[in-house]
Amino acid sequence: MSSPAGASPAAAHPAAAAAAPSPAATIRLTVNGVVHTVQAAPGTPLLYVLRDDLALRGPRFGCGLGQCGACTVHLDGAAVRSCTIPVAAAAGRRITTLEGLGPAGRLHPVQQAFVDEQAMQCGYCVNGWIMTAAALLARTPNPSDAEVRSALAGLICRCGAHMRMLRAVRRAAQSRG
Amino acid sequence: MINPTLSRRRLLAAGGAVVVGFAMPALTGRGGEAAAAPGTGMPAPDALDSWLAIGPDGRVTVFTDKVDLGMGVSTAFAQIAADELDVPVQSVSIVMGDTARTPDQGGVGGSTSIAVGAVPVRQAAAEARRVLVGLAADRLGVAADTLAVRDGVVYAPDDPTKSASYGDLIGGRRFNIAVTGSAPVKAPDQYKIVGTSVPRIDIPAKAAGAFTYIVDVRVPGMLHGRVIRPPVPGARLVSAGSAEGLPGVHRIVAKGNFVGVVADTEWHAVQAARNLKVTWSAPRVPWPAMADLYTAMWSMTPTTRRVMAQAGDVDGAMRGAARTIEARYAWPFQSHAMMGPSCAIADVSDRGATIWSSTQHPHQLQHGIADLLGLAPGAVHVIWVEGSGSYGRAGMDDAAGDAAILSQAVGRPVRVQWMRADETGWDPKGPPVVVSVRAGVDAQGNVLAWDYVARGFSGSGIPAAATTGGNMLAGQLVGLEARGFDVPTVVQENYAFPAKRKTGEIVPWPQDGSPLRTANLRAPSQPATTFGGESFVDEMAAALRIDPVDFRLRYLRNPRDAAVVRAAAQHAGWAPRPSPRPDISRLGVTTGRGFAYAPRGNTLIATIAEVEVNQATGQVHVTRLVLAHDCGLIINPDGLRGTIEANLIQSTSRALKEEVRFGPSGVASVDWATYPILRAPEAPDRIEVVLVNRPDLPPYGAGEPATVATAPAIANAIFDATGARLRTVPFTPERVKAALADRTWPAA
Ligand code: FES
Ligand code: FES
């Protein structure tokens, strides 16, 4: 029996199509308002460049499959999954991570609401929830409870901090009023 | 934004440790370093300096082997130490789980971090306060018993000129005394910080993206590793392929049936693991078809059968019963499915090994890694760094073994982070359990006897702590023998039935090198045993046409048990009546409520679930959960509520959705699509927690208990709503529809 990758069949990975070796290129990225130049194969998922080349900690690897949201960043203000976006597709666009979500030196209202509601257990997932909620509130300042839940339906929180995170999003919506 | 330039590129130097504190103190300039026990490099547990240090600025550092799994334990420890020392809680920092700096407390498990783990910290803090007050008395020339302490300053209440701060008295120096346990600790009514909702130490940095998780640790010269697992257990490595055509690959490491790649970048390692051509032998899987699992478990001959508790003459009482009731229940394999796949960094060289890991057992892992690599335990330094929330023996220690083998092979530091399929597909699984219960009742409806049997697999295949190389997956794959342990599982309950027997049985299961090896998963096996017990109690109450709460109260004689049951019922507005509800319609959406209670150790809980069942689709939605919780003295009410709410969500997920799928080609649950868990739209509409505080009792555990009674409360609520009884977890729409089709209520 031959298995190229044990229990992780290549077909299950959306990024696998771009996995064919390609030479590194010079790519300019604008992250949290700062321009960076990185050397990376164009097909490298943005997540690895943000974490490993730019040493950012907000976006995290959870699945690499677009299923959990742990890697969420904003691309021109929209919440996207950096584990499935090739770095080349982010060049020339505005990338915002959890570290750069708030105004300089301050927390974004959604981040503040997560602190106020003590809305996490381990917090590994929280990047996805905060970034997705911030994008939602930018679009829909006063969402209903059902709208919040469905906007956050693509996220995983294994610890089960859902109730507090939902409360935090409501609190942030009210504080922005 | 939170200081992006400073938080970036902050490398953790080899040998460094992560300190969690309200303010991050510099690691240098801190008070006396922990005292090493001879020979092991480990701080001596009887030395005060092993537990606590005070810096020149008066900041307190507490050292403990108990690590934070994301439930706020570090904050609770800070509260306990601050209260005992009379310092502001913000001045306390915690160093957790470093084999060179924290005493061995046996690691984390069984909800004991506060109940057991905080005891020596409290003692050391009390001792330190006594020493400091004595030093102040000498310096100020007054009797020690005339002095008081506030905010880390010892002062004479009647003479404001006489005072000395902790920083002045000891700052940066060692205490050099043993903790004798003779310093009196405060009585609960003197607590000022314990019992209050101090905000969690770690949350601001986590919300800002500035927190250091294990996945953020970088060491100089580090390479990236990934592992390739056999397709099925027992498959032997035929050929591990070559690195040719795989960019950035430093080495393919093959050892026994362990295969890994080491590459210059993380993405190169990921691609190499995916594209490497590995050939395995193709043995038959050593397990039955998934659909036959529970039948197979009941048909196996137990290797161990232990009567765990017995009262009265069960067999005699059964023979004399007017009526007997009997039922069987089943709980599936479940995955820890940690949010962040397991990650570790290993730096193995001639000088020894340093391992950064989010293990729950740093000192035990030190021995396991030493065994795996052929080193003396003293040559291994394990440094815990907080990971994604963990709930037992998941993959953290296995990833440490993987990184250690890869680093030893290449002679450089290697970081391994598992892919999602490695985590969900290959973590040690929470084991399936089958339960059989029989009860005898007399003509008046009194329970005469209860005979409870729980049957599980080889105890747990993987012990909670990886004390040997063979207890890590990599060790098993290179051919080291696993040392499992056989502890039969049993239900915890306190019903005063006149005759009672509780039996635990173990049936064999292949564990080594298997993705279905079994290990502790939050409140090990108790969600399963309580599911059987509390569903059955509900079945008895229904058969006897008695309200489920009243029925339980008839047999709960311990006042704390009864109090927690009443607290939940009262808060929920429980109206007494038998289940199922009197007016069941067999069509459409119907609602019901269910009750379950359980002790876990000394902690007691009662859970009420309210559900909505769509009888056309089989969908169950939990509209409301109410939980009453008595864990003795409460350290931090808001932190406790957060942990309880999370337990309730996770256990609702386990009850409604979670089951590891497997077949002839291996484990098929490998990601969030094939192992779905509860998401935001499915979360209950409301969760209400009733805390029963018992300042007269010690603090008992709270990390797990709220998990154990959710499944039976939901099953009992589904029965109440529909008359259909769910006896197998999870309650998927297919299972619910099958149960609806089978139901005997209401009488057709
Ligand atoms: S890591 Fe990107 S969605 Fe899970
Ligand atoms: S808080 Fe741990 S995964 Fe969400």
Question: Each residue of B567-585: pLDDT tens digit?
Answer: 999 999 999 999 999 988 8
Q: Does residue B7 or residue B685 have the better pLDDT?
A: B685
pLDDT grade, residue B38 (50/70/90)?
very low
Q: What is the mean pLDDT of residues A40-51?
A: 97
- Is-contact B516 B333, C-beta < 8 A? yes
* C-alpha A129 to ligand 2 mean position (Å): 10
| B154, B183, B207 - which closes a domain | B207
pLDDT grade, residue B688 (50/70/90)?
very high
Same domain, B553 and B696: yes
Record: contact B679-A130, CB cut-off 8 A: no
> Given a cut of 50, is residue B133 above it in pLDDT?
yes
Interface test with A, best of B419, B422, B652, B675 (most A CBs within 10 A): B419
Record: contact B339-A58, CB cut-off 8 A: no
Q: Is A177 within 8 Å of chain B by CB?
A: no
How far apart are alpha carbons B393 and B396 in whole angstroms? 8
Same domain, B398 and B447: no
Residue B91 inside a domain? The answer is: yes
Q: Is B666 within 8 Å of chain A by CB?
A: yes
Q: What is the mean pLDDT of residues A21-47?
A: 94
Domains belonging to chain A, first-starting first, are 23-100 (3.10.20.30), 109-175 (1.10.150.120)
Reading the block at residue B302, the tokens are: 């137990």
pLDDT grade, residue B31 (50/70/90)?
very low
> Given a cut of 70, is residue B14 above it in pLDDT?
no
Bridge-based pairing state of the strands B60-64 and B52-54 = antiparallel
Which residues 142-171 of A have a C-beta within 8 angstroms of B?
146, 148-150, 152-164, 166
Q: What is the mean pLDDT of residues B679-687?
A: 98
pLDDT grade, residue B216 (50/70/90)?
very high
Q: Assign residue B500 the CATH number of its domain.
A: 3.30.365.10
Record: contact B4-A99, CB cut-off 8 A: yes
Record: contact A56-B213, CB cut-off 8 A: no
Same domain, B585 and B482: no
pLDDT grade, residue B40 (50/70/90)?
low
* Cβ pairs bridging A and B (under 8 Å): 262
Closest chain B residue to A13, measured at CA: B274
Q: In which residue are the tokens 């409460």 written?
A: B634
pLDDT grade, residue B646 (50/70/90)?
very high
Q: Is B339 within 8 Å of chain A by CB?
A: yes
Residue B701 inside a domain? The answer is: yes
Interface test with B, best of A163, A167, A169 (most B CBs within 10 A): A163
User: Of B24-38, B332-346, B461-475, B605-619, which gets the smallest average pLDDT?
Assistant: B24-38
pLDDT tens sequence across B527-544:
999 999 999 999 999 999
pLDDT of residue A15: 43
Q: Is A30 within 8 Å of chain B by CB?
A: no
A28 CB within 6 A, ligand 2: no
pLDDT grade, residue B353 (50/70/90)?
very high
Q: What is the mean pLDDT of residues B7-18?
A: 31
Q: In which residue are the tokens 């029925």 written?
A: B551
Bridge-based pairing state of the strands B323-331 and B433-441 = antiparallel
Q: Name the strands in the sheet holding B52-54, side by side, starting at the edge strand that comes first in the sequence.
A: B19-21, B92-96, B60-64, B52-54
DSSP B334: B
Record: contact A55-B8, CB cut-off 8 A: yes
Same domain, B639 and B721: yes
How far apart are alpha carbons B714 and B724 in whole angstroms? 12
Q: Please give the tally of structural domains in chain B.
A: 4
Same domain, B294 and B166: no
pLDDT of residue A134: 98
Q: Is B661 within 8 Å of chain A by CB?
A: no
Sequence-ordered strand ranges (E) for B126-173:
148-150, 153-156, 159-165
> Given a cut of 50, is residue B598 above it in pLDDT?
yes
pLDDT grade, residue B702 (50/70/90)?
confident
Q: Residue B338: its chain A contacts at CB < 8 A?
A: 158
H helix count then E strand count, chain A:
6, 6
pLDDT grade, residue A23 (50/70/90)?
confident
Reading the block at residue B217, the tokens are: 């640790």
| B157, B183, B207 - which closes a domain | B207
pLDDT of residue A55: 97
Record the pTM. 0.93
pLDDT tens sequence across B363-383:
999 999 999 999 999 999 999
Measured between alpha carbons, how far apart are the two ends of chain B, in Å? 65
> Given a cut of 80, is residue B661 above it in pLDDT?
yes
Q: Describe the crossing of helices A126-139 and A162-176 by its angle, rounded to 10 degrees.
A: 30
Residue B280 to chain A, least CA–CA distance (Å): 5
- What's the domain range around B235? 214-283+337-426
pLDDT grade, residue B71 (50/70/90)?
confident
Same domain, B304 and B256: no
Give backbone dihedrals phi and psi of B81, rounded to 5 degrees, phi first: -65, -40
> Given a cut of 70, is residue A11 above it in pLDDT?
no
* C-alpha A119 to ligand 1 mean position (Å): 20
Same domain, B491 and B356: no
* Dihedral sign of CA atoms B17, B520, B653, B689 in order: negative
Same domain, B448 and B542: no
Q: Does residue B392 or residue B235 have the better pLDDT?
A: B235
Same domain, B52 and B74: yes
Reading the block at residue B390, the tokens are: 């963990």
User: Of B520-524, B637-641, B680-684, which gets the smallest average pLDDT?
Assistant: B520-524
pLDDT of residue B738: 98
b/e string for B497-507 if b means 16 or more Cβ within 10 A?
Answer: bbbbbbbbbbb
* C-alpha B468 to ligand 1 mean position (Å): 33
* C-alpha A56 to ligand 2 mean position (Å): 19
Q: What is the mean pLDDT of residues B277-289?
A: 94
Residue from A68, A85, A132 whose mutation best tests the ligand 1 pocket (most atoms within 8 A of CB): A68
- Is-contact B688 B627, C-beta < 8 A? yes
Residue B578 inside a domain? The answer is: yes
Q: What is the mean pLDDT of residues A134-146?
A: 97
| B382, B411, B426 - which closes a domain | B426
How far apart are alpha carbons B402 and B242 in whole angstroms? 19
User: Of B70-79, B266-275, B415-424, B470-479, which gets the smallest average pLDDT?
Assistant: B70-79
For B425, the closest of A7, A60, A122 (CB atoms) is A7
pLDDT of residue B70: 78
